[in-house]
Structure 1
């Protein structure tokens, strides 16, 4: 099993970030807006420092838990920027629901040391993939807020954020479109590096199949939105399906290999 004790310079900021996520979840209704912004900045910095301790040193280690941690950090980054543009958005407990477990999992399962790169452009493929994870995670969070707001409106209760529902929907699909573009670039880079690294050409793996399925679902969702005006529950369910497939594609397959099968990923 790829389970290791992380050094103190990685453990300390990770534990601090996890604690900060929990404080954001528990104290978001009690703290002033300025205190929340300051706490988010501290959590963002600690989480980024923990990621740097894992990825910015030699040998860098990467695995399913690190992917989740980077995704959570990207979601927090985008959310922090959004709250500057749209102060009406409130900090939600779901932020901690993603962040704290992801940080702690990365401590327990730091993954394997990254192999020697056969191409200097290979990190670009990884960067596209992780960024698509992050943007799709942001889109899912917005879709959940959109559905929650719609449910509260139907029941006559006040929504927790003041953003109009149509504006929230437009923001959600902007993130969906951005995630689709990055996922397309990820697949194109994957095709190139697959031919470069494998003598037999394109390698059909679980990761490849699930990623292609996620890309196809996102494409159909965007087409349906543009051509038929899909929205509401139908659009949200398709987005959740695409995110689930993408999660199975890399995180799921790496979890099975690293934890269940206890093998070194190739």
Structure 2
């Protein structure tokens, strides 16, 4: 079967799961069970992975074009979220993650642009790429968790919590999950930045590097504030989203401008 068949199947399952997770949330757990939904999500993730394989390794070099990288990061985020959801109550974040994953598959399918990168990468560069993807994915999930935490906090303080908010774990549990994700993502981001020093020339002139360091500083301040001053609630949410905004610009900002707007690889 060709790539469009696998891509279409992945898109349909991602969107179907979005509906099923949403129904389960607003009906307080009714509908298909959590385990079955997570297993079905793995089917979509496997299909998504195969379409990525066809794109990444279609020629003599790796394709690192904007839409391929977008699809790859969306795949890693979906994989991590579904894997974490087996033991943490974060499956509701799938409502935000899975439609983005479906969109990433669609955009990669309909866009033929490529940006080849040689296969023979150094070990340090491979470490940098892998840790960058993992760090960005973890901190993306943390940003989604922060948004959900904000909605929960506002509604509980206004004393008119909607049905889906009442079905969420307590605020304290949500915050613990948030800082666990941020702490893990921060450590991996440190490894990514350190490995980058070994091969990036003129480091400070690289926009991606400067923005990534900015994100690292924001997350470091947040973690220190949590440890030293007990930061929580909206302070933690603001710092999390600010740090993620820097990462978003670092990973996609310049790539979007160069490849999509300026049409340069």
Gaps of 5+ in 1: 1-7
Deviates more, 1:78-87 or 1:131-140: 78-87
For residues 32-62 of structure 1, the C-alpha deviation after alignment (integer angstroms, 9 at most, x for no partner) is: 1154233212111111212222224433211
Q: Secondary structure at the match of 2:198?
A: helix
**Counterparts of 1:160 and 1:70, CA distance in 2:** 34
Which residue, out of 183, 188, 206, partners 1:182? 188
Deviates more, 1:15-24 or 1:26-35: 26-35
The alignment's TM-score, normalised by the length of structure 2, stands at 0.85
Greater RCO, 1 or 2 (C-alpha within 8 Å, sep 6+): 1
> Which residue of 1 is the match for residue 28 of structure 2?
none
Which residue, out of 156, 165, 175, partners 1:169? 175
> Which residue of 2 is the match for residue 3 of structure 1?
none
Q: Secondary structure at the match of 2:85?
A: helix
Alpha-carbon deviation of 1:243?
1.0
> Which residue of 2 is the match for residue 4 of structure 1?
none
Q: Secondary structure at the match of 1:60?
A: strand
Alpha-carbon deviation of 1:91?
6.0
Deviates more, 1:218-227 or 1:148-157: 148-157
In the alignment, does 2:13 pair up with 1:20? yes
**What's the RMSD between the two structures over aligned residues?**
2.3
> Which residue of 1 is the match for residue 53 of structure 2?
52
For residues 82-128 of structure 1, the C-alpha deviation after alignment (integer angstroms, 9 at most, x for no partner) is: 33214684464212332122222233265311135462431211111
1:66–1:110: 8 Å Cα contact kept in structure 2?
Answer: no
In the alignment, does 2:133 pair up with 1:130? yes
Which residue, out of 95, 116, 121, partners 1:113? 116
Q: How does 1:32-181 map to 2 (within 5 A)?
A: 32-33=32-33, 34-58=35-59, 59-86=61-88, 89-90=91-92, 92-107=94-109, 108=111, 111-115=114-118, 117=120, 119-154=122-157, 155-157=159-161, 158=163, 159-181=165-187
2:11–2:105: 8 Å Cα contact kept in structure 1?
Answer: yes
The number of residues matched between the two structures is: 252
In the alignment, does 2:222 pair up with 1:221? yes
Alpha-carbon deviation of 1:253?
0.7
Alpha-carbon deviation of 1:204?
1.2
Deviates more, 1:61-70 or 1:153-162: 153-162
Q: Secondary structure at the match of 1:114?
A: strand
Alpha-carbon deviation of 1:192?
0.6
The alignment's TM-score, normalised by the length of structure 1, stands at 0.85
- The 3 A distance-change label for structure 1 pair 234 and 38 is same
Alpha-carbon deviation of 1:169?
0.7
1:10–1:53: 8 Å Cα contact kept in structure 2?
Answer: yes
